Amino acid sequence: MAARFMTLADVAETLQVSAAQAYALVRSGELPAIKVGGRGQWRVEISVLEDYIQGKYAETRALVASSDALEDEALPR
């Protein structure tokens, strides 16, 4: 059976950010996660991480499109 959840260390490695940044994403609510076990270890569902990544791609596309639109408006005609 394939794994359903990732540790924050795995998330950090996947996103190529620090463990502290992965923790900050979870603590802020930007990246949904659950706490499990007696020590309250964070876990992120793989599908949730994929959705988060796709959302970031969409945000970036929108940012680039709006930046391109602003640059086009600034060009002399």
- 36 Cβ neighbours under 8 A, 6+ residues apart: 5, 43
Q: What is the pLDDT, as a whole number, of residue 67? A: 79
The answer to whether the beta carbons of residues 36 and 44 sit under 8 Å apart is no
- Kindly state the tokens that stand for 72: 């086009």
Confidence band (pLDDT; 50, 70, 90) for 34? Answer: very high
Checking if the pLDDT of 72 tops 80, the result is no
Q: What is the pLDDT, as a whole number, of residue 4? A: 97
**pLDDT (average), residues 45-74:** 87
- In terms of pTM, does the model score above 0.85? no
Confidence band (pLDDT; 50, 70, 90) for 2? Answer: confident
List C-alpha distances in Å: 76 to 71, 72, 73.
Answer: 10, 9, 8
